[in-house]
């Protein structure tokens, strides 16, 4: 599935049925569908050999093959592609037998609607995905490799190393929620992972994205552990997620899904247990619904159950923009260390959501010229500098950057490789890889996103002398102000914004200085140094607590 486009192979000899399916699928924008249609089994097998598909819609009665034989031949050719069988009303038994033999779903031709068709496609892709390893994620592999590298360099005790390689607790739930057409119930998967349980309660955001799986959430939980320890916060790492595209849901659907998620994990979260916060695809409104659902269940209002909630519900001043603000405090430290004046320096920012937009705003307040920004819809470029306030107004109105007038557009690889002083990845993981690291031309790579750089790319950047503010340090401003919010919630006390920003700067500056010192002393890159710094604290805590029983 590339860019949320699902490639369907439609095997159907009735042209009227083919046209109907094409018409029904064309109505959907998110996901959108590319349909290749063929009329015979022979043509289907040839097409499968030529080009990969995400799903096969299969009529069992074809001119050159009939009944279950059709299914078996297609299945043998494409064992890893989900198959939905289409059957006539009087052939439902045959379709049911195909499902028995491994088809993912069946549809009765006379009853197909756009809703039932798209739901069946989603459900079949989910079923296929559930068969592949939930842990088999490139992000989890990256998090584990980074950890093992740091563990090796610091000569970490083997017992501790093995205990930290996987999360201590993880739960997966199937979440049914009602779509706006009330008769339709959709089921998606939800996750909560707690990596280390002995540093205090666990803490970590909730991500809504179509790519979420157990491995991704576990990687994010692991990074949270190092981040909290590096900042000396009294938390272990956690993370949550739902495998869903939030942009395809209405506000009412998002609310129903969020409340169901909260209720499914009600025993696993709480101010003394595990405190969620926003991450990609979630925001302060989602936190408000979690707070409300949790409070309804326990019978009184519990603001400290989440952070990143609206200020009117006990959210902290400065939390919303804390990750971007913190990143810019760190860029100031890095620029001072490298002797780069920020006035008139240039920056490129990938991602214009919570982190990217506030990083762009605070960078431009420091006098930095933002020459390019990008989001899921487009990338914008203006050598003379983009106006961040006007971009923000545009996104407030249109949700995405696409269509913004005062800029050229360019492709993502070109944008990431622009010559600039500061490059801020603040969207997705694995953006800087061994493939493009040799062409990245920034002086400071300031990681707002989690996991934007692969292990191989790290080595290339290090050889090329690019200064990296690694994610566990770079985006730690968010969890730091989340910690302030949690403390304020427990004490029922509000701190002024100046105090929050002062404390934030103090904590980040201290972590930057410790990381830099360790990098210089141990001759390692900033990421490994940051991880070793965090790992030392976690190791000490584990050894002091001992092992039960």
* 280 scored as a contact of ligand NAD (CB under 6 A): yes
State which of residues 376, 410, 455, 487 lies at the interface with ligand NAD (CB under 6 A): 376
Phi/psi for 496 (5° steps) reads: -70, 155
* 480 scored as a contact of ligand NAD (CB under 6 A): no
> From the CB of 512, what's the least distance to ligand NAD, in Å?
16
- Which residue is catalytic, options 227, 239, 369, 542? 239
Quote the crossing angle between the two packed helices 138-153 and 214-230, to the nearest 10°: 40
260 contacts 175 by C-beta, under 8 angstroms: yes
> From the CB of 428, what's the least distance to ligand NAD, in Å?
5
Phi/psi for 447 (5° steps) reads: -85, 110
Q: Which one of the spans 31-39, 189-197, 433-441, 445-453 is the region binding ligand NAD (CB under 6 A)?
A: 445-453
Give the nearer residue to ligand NAD in terms of CB position, either 60 or 357: 357
Tokens 């934007």 map to which residue? 452
* 323 scored as a contact of ligand NAD (CB under 6 A): yes
> From the CB of 99, what's the least distance to ligand NAD, in Å?
34
State which of residues 478, 483, 484, 504 lies at the interface with ligand NAD (CB under 6 A): 478
Q: Which of residues 402-431 bind ligand NAD (CB under 6 A)?
A: 426-428
DSSP 61-81: -BTTB-HHHHHHHHHHH-TTS
Q: Can the peptide bond before residue 120 be classed as cis, meaning omega within 30 degrees of 0?
A: no
* 41 scored as a contact of ligand NAD (CB under 6 A): no
> From the CB of 346, what's the least distance to ligand NAD, in Å?
20
Q: Which residues contact 306 (CB under 8 A, 6 or more apart)?
A: 275, 276, 277, 287, 290, 291, 294
Of 341, 343, 175, 332, the residue nearest 260 (C-alpha): 175
Give the nearer residue to ligand NAD in terms of CB position, either 194 or 475: 475
Angular region, 364: left φ>0, alpha ψ -120 to 50, beta rest: alpha
Q: Which one of the spans 38-46, 110-118, 290-298, 374-382 is the region binding ligand NAD (CB under 6 A)?
A: 374-382
Tokens 């004490």 map to which residue? 491
* 374 scored as a contact of ligand NAD (CB under 6 A): yes
> From the CB of 139, what's the least distance to ligand NAD, in Å?
10
> b vs e for 462-492, b when ≥16 Cβ sit within 10 Å of the residue's Cβ?
beeebbbbbbbbbbbbbbbbbbbbbebbeee
Quote the crossing angle between the two packed helices 477-491 and 497-522, to the nearest 10°: 140
> From the CB of 360, what's the least distance to ligand NAD, in Å?
11
* 237 scored as a contact of ligand NAD (CB under 6 A): no
> From the CB of 207, what's the least distance to ligand NAD, in Å?
7
Q: Nearest-CB residue to ligand NAD?
A: 353
106 contacts 87 by C-beta, under 8 angstroms: yes
Give the nearer residue to ligand NAD in terms of CB position, either 74 or 424: 424
State which of residues 12, 39, 279, 292 lies at the interface with ligand NAD (CB under 6 A): 279
Q: Which one of the spans 160-168, 337-345, 402-410, 444-452 is the region binding ligand NAD (CB under 6 A)?
A: 444-452
Of 390, 338, 339, 398, the residue nearest 364 (C-alpha): 390
Phi/psi for 347 (5° steps) reads: -140, 150
Strands 467-469 and 444-446: parallel
∠ CA 107-113-116 to the nearest 5 degrees? 55
* 372 scored as a contact of ligand NAD (CB under 6 A): no
* 355 scored as a contact of ligand NAD (CB under 6 A): yes
* 276 scored as a contact of ligand NAD (CB under 6 A): no
**Does residue 309 have an active-site annotation?**
no
Q: Which residues contact 265 (CB under 8 A, 6 or more apart)?
A: 171, 173, 190, 192, 240
Count of CB atoms situated within 10 Å of the CB of 500: 22
> From the CB of 341, what's the least distance to ligand NAD, in Å?
27
What's the DSSP call for residue 312? G
* 535 scored as a contact of ligand NAD (CB under 6 A): no
- How far apart CA 8 and CA 247 sit, in angstroms, is 22
> From the CB of 262, what's the least distance to ligand NAD, in Å?
19
Give the nearer residue to ligand NAD in terms of CB position, either 197 or 400: 400
> From the CB of 103, what's the least distance to ligand NAD, in Å?
32
> From the CB of 144, what's the least distance to ligand NAD, in Å?
18
* Alpha carbon of residue 321 to chain centroid: 18
Q: Which of residues 287-316 bind ligand NAD (CB under 6 A)?
A: none
* 278 scored as a contact of ligand NAD (CB under 6 A): yes
Tell me the CB-side half-sphere exposure of residue 448, using CA atoms within 13 A: 33
State which of residues 375, 421, 458, 525 lies at the interface with ligand NAD (CB under 6 A): 375
506 contacts 514 by C-beta, under 8 angstroms: no
Of 410, 417, 468, the residue nearest 441 (C-alpha): 417
Q: Which one of the spans 193-201, 256-264, 291-299, 446-454 is the region binding ligand NAD (CB under 6 A)?
A: 446-454
Q: Which one of the spans 40-48, 86-94, 151-159, 447-455 is the region binding ligand NAD (CB under 6 A)?
A: 447-455
Q: Which one of the spans 45-53, 105-113, 354-362, 517-525 is the region binding ligand NAD (CB under 6 A)?
A: 354-362
Angular region, 454: left φ>0, alpha ψ -120 to 50, beta rest: beta
- How far apart CA 45 and CA 141 sit, in angstroms, is 35
Q: Which one of the spans 46-54, 273-281, 338-346, 539-547 is the region binding ligand NAD (CB under 6 A)?
A: 273-281
State which of residues 281, 314, 470, 534 lies at the interface with ligand NAD (CB under 6 A): 281
Give the nearer residue to ligand NAD in terms of CB position, either 505 or 542: 505
Catalytic residue annotation: 239
Residues in contact with ligand NAD by CB under 6 A are: 278-281, 323, 350-356, 374-376, 426-428, 448-450, 475, 478
């Amino acid at each position: 599935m590339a860019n949320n486009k699902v490639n369907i192979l439609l095997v159907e000899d009735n042209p009227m049925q083919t046209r109907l399916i094409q018409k029904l699928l064309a109505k959907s924008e998110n996901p959108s569908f590319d349909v290749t249609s063929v009329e015979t089994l022979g043509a289907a097998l040839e097409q499968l050999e030529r080009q990969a598909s995400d799903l096969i819609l299969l009529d069992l009665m074809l001119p050159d093959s009939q009944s279950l034989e059709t299914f078996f031949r297609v299945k043998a050719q494409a064992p890893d592609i989900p198959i939905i069988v289409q059957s006539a009303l009087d052939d439902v038994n045959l379709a049911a037998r195909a499902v028995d033999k491994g088809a993912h779903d069946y549809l009765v031709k006379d009853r197909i609607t756009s809703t039932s068709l798209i739901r069946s496609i989603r459900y079949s892709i989910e079923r296929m995905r559930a068969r592949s390893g939930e842990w088999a994620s490139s992000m989890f592999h990256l998090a584990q490799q980074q950890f093992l590298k740091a563990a090796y360099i610091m000569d970490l005790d083997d017992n501790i190393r093995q205990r930290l390689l996987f999360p201590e607790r993880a739960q997966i739930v199937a979440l049914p929620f009602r779509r706006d057409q009330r008769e339709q119930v959709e089921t998606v998967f939800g996750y909560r992972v707690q990596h280390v349980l002995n540093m205090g309660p666990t803490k970590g955001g909730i991500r809504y994205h179509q790519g979420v799986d157990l491995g991704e959430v576990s990687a994010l939980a692991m990074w949270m552990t190092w981040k909290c320890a590096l900042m000396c916060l009294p938390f272990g790492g956690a993370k949550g997620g739902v495998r869903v595209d939030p942009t395809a849901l209405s506000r009412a659907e998002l609310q129903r899904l969020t409340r169901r998620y909260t209720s499914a994990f009600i025993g696993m979260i709480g101010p003394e247990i595990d405190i969620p916060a926003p991450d990609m695809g979630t925001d302060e409104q989602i936190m408000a619904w979690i707070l409300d659902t949790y409070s309804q269940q326990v019978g009184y209002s519990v603001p400290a159950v989440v952070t990143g909630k609206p200020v009117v519900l006990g959210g902290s001043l400065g939390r919303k923009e804390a990750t971007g603000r913190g990143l810019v405090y760190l860029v100031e430290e890095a620029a001072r260390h490298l002797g780069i004046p920020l006035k008139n320096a240039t920056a490129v920012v990938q991602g214009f959501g919570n982190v990217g937009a506030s990083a762009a705003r605070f960078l431009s307040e420091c006098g930095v010229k933002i020459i390019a920004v990008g989001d899921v819809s487009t990338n914008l470029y203006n050598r003379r500098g983009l106006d961040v306030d006007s971009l923000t107004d545009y996104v407030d109105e249109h949700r995405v950057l696409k269509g913004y007038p005062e800029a050229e557009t360019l492709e993502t690889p070109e944008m990431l490789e622009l010559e600039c002083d500061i490059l801020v990845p603040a969207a997705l993981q694995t953006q800087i890889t061994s493939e493009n690291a040799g062409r990245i031309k920034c002086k400071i790579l300031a990681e707002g996103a989690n996991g934007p750089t692969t292990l191989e790319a790290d080595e290339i950047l290090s050889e090329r002398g690019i200064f990296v503010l690694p994610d566990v340090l770079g985006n730690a401003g968010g969890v730091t102000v989340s910690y302030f919010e949690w403390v304020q919630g427990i004490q029922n006390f509000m701190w002024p914004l100046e105090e929050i920003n002062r404390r934030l700067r103090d904590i980040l500056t201290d972590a930057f200085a410790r990381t830099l010192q360790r990098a210089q002393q141990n001759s390692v890159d900033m990421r490994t140094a940051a991880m070793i710094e965090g790992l030392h604290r976690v190791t000490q805590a584990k050894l002091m607590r001992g092992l039960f029983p």
